[in-house]
Amino acid sequence: MENNQNNNSSADLKRPMLTEMFVDRESTENAYNTLHERGYAKGDINLIMSDNTRKKHYADADDDSEFGTKAAESAGTGSAIGGTIGAVIGFIAAIGTSVIITGLGVIIAGPLAAGLAGAGAVGIAGGLIGALVGSGIPEDHAKIYESGIKYGHVVMGVRPHNDEVATYLEDNWKSNRGKEVYR
């Protein structure tokens, strides 16, 4: 499989974000691992979930696997975490930028969070829908994502390097039970 190394150019930043919603931990982990295998770094990937979902499905402080131990040790340090099981846990624990939208209990990690924090947009009226629309997702799709997040789903997004990669990721994510793709 071709490995598209992370070479975020200004052209990548102008590309629309590919987003999809995942209904369970396994599908989210598989989609995240696909991004990692294709050369995307943690700092390229956006994850949005409710704090309740994080606590219920991704806390794993008692995960006795090697990866779970590393994730617990690295929480809040921003150090690199490897492994294939529990990758989303590691992402949440290790990502340098994440925000919580106050009053909604929503966690946003990745470049979208950095943009929101930098713009002081965390407390803006409109909450999650406003954040999603601000990232380029149409309002009707943002409302679908907001509803799914409230029901425990996870939204993942990335700016694909090119159309071929976008098509590959979309197909892969759909095969991993992803729904409500936006491209």
pLDDT tens-digit map of 124-169: 445 677 778 877 888 998 899 989 999 999 999 999 999 999 999 9
Return all residues near 123 (Cβ < 8 A) that are at least 6 apart: 102
How many whole angstroms separate alpha carbon 89 and alpha carbon 68?
8
pTM over 0.75: no
Q: Is there a contact between 23 and 155 (Cβ–Cβ < 8 Å)?
A: no
Q: Which residues contact 127 (CB under 8 A, 6 or more apart)?
A: 101, 103, 104, 106
Per-residue model confidence as pLDDT tens digits over 94-126: 444 555 555 567 777 777 766 555 444 444 445
Could you tell me the CA-to-CA distances from 154 to 79, 112, 177, 178 in Å, in that order? 23, 15, 12, 10
Percent of the chain with pLDDT over 90: 24
Give the pLDDT of residue 88.
52
Pair of tokens at residue 83: 């492994």
* Predicted pLDDT at 86: 52
For residue 105, give the amino acid letter: G
Alpha-carbon span 40 to 48, nearest angstrom: 17
Summarised one tens digit per residue, pLDDT across range 10-45 is 445 567 889 999 999 889 989 989 998 999 988 888
- What's the rounded Cα separation, in Å, for the pair 128 and 41? 24
Neighbours of 56 (CB within 10 A): 12
Task: Determine the Cα–Cα distance for residues 87 and 85; give it in Å rounded to an integer.
Answer: 6
